[in-house]
Structure 1
Amino acid sequence: MNYGGFWMRVVAYIIDLVILMALLFPLIFIFGTSTVETADMSFSANAQSDSPLLNLVFTLIGLAYFVGFESSSMQGTPGKRALGLVVTDMDGRRISILRALGRYFAKILSSLILLIGYIMVAFTERKQGLHDMICSTLVVQGKPGETGADPEVFN
């Protein structure tokens, strides 16, 4: 079984960020909010808008994007699909919306511990991050619906 390795997943995430930014920047300009800090004019991923409602909308868009795509018949975000990766449960099946939601929130934990939860992908046997281990998921190379449940492959 070919698991999605660390660098493949990093590239997939960058593709997803570009797509999300393309969706979010029009909202930023419509509402007159900028993620550019005026003090040093550098991009800040942690910049907060002036509107709590806009922050909520950004969060919901990100949540819908990752949970929606990973639990859909595509079995992965457009970034993952561009690299031939799918998200499965431990038996190679498509994950449910609840599991995708849990995986999304478990990524927060992976981030909070100095990204170690993500770095784990490079060092674990099945290329699982902390969020994958918590939610019993795998990221594998393959096509949606074709990874199948083969006990010898997934166990």
Structure 2
Amino acid sequence: MDVTYDGKDHNEVSAPADVSQAKSAPPLEHAYAGFWIRFWAFLLDGIVIGSINRLLISPVFSLLHLPKETGLFTFSLYSITSAVVFFAYFAIMTKCFKQTLGKMVFGLKVVSLVPEKGLTWDVILFREVIGRYINSVYITYLIVGFTPKKQGIHDYFADTAVIHEKLYRKK
């Protein structure tokens, strides 16, 4: 059996014969990420941050013989450093990649709802630092499950949303 190559890529999808058919397709937009998928991404991020603290910060404190314990009403240098790592991880990853490692694994991305403004440093810092502080009362984070764009309080204030990268819905 002779097979010849005709130079065409037969895996490509050709345009529809009727152009009006293509125009009648409903417009699509990325689907918003709900509470549970964001929860699992956050848990994975917690594992990453805990690993960074245990692999980098803890050995440095041990080598320098710095205390890791906290007093009853005081913060130790170790807890402050761990908090800085926590906030810096979320802020830097979101600014550079628009997603953290947890969001990457689950195919999620942070987007600005005001495209002309974008994800600037002031938006990122507000969303990730002030927003994480607001959401330290975890009950407020449950709002994600009940809003149309699946936004948390920090998303509302920063005009952001978390979307699925490869999942779409009709507009």
Task: Report the TM-score range of the alignment, normalised by the length of the smaller protein.
Answer: 0.7 to 0.9
- Where structure 2 has 5 or more consecutive residues not aligned to the other structure, the ranges are 1-29
Amino acid at match of 2:131: A
92 and 6 in structure 1: CA distance in 2 versus 1, 3 angstrom threshold? farther
Distance 1:134 1:51, change over 3 A: closer
Distance 1:120-1:68 versus aligned 2 partners, 3 A rule:
same
- Structure 1: which 5+ residue stretches go unaligned? 35-46
For the aligned residue pairs, the C-alpha RMSD in angstroms reads 2.7
Regions of 4+ moved over 3 Å: 47-51, 91-94
Based on CA coordinates, which of the two structures has the bigger radius of gyration?
2
Matched, 1:10 2:39: yes
Contact 2:31 2:163 in 1 (8 A): yes
State the TM-score, normalizing by the size of structure 2: 0.67
Could you say which structure has the higher strand fraction?
Answer: 2
SS at match of 1:111: coil
Residue pair 1:117, 1:131 contacting (<8 A) in 2 also: no
Q: From 71, 81, 89, give the equivalent of 2:104.
A: 81
TM-score (normalised: structure 1): 0.73
| 1:28 maps to amino acid | S
Aligned residues: 131
- Given the superposition, is the C-alpha separation of residues 90 and 51 from structure 1 closer, same or farther in structure 2, using an over 3 Å criterion? closer
The one-letter code sitting in structure 1 at the alignment partner of 2:125 is L
Percent identity of equivalent pairs? 26
Is the 2:114–2:159 contact (alpha carbons within 8 Å) kept by the matching residues of 1? Answer: no
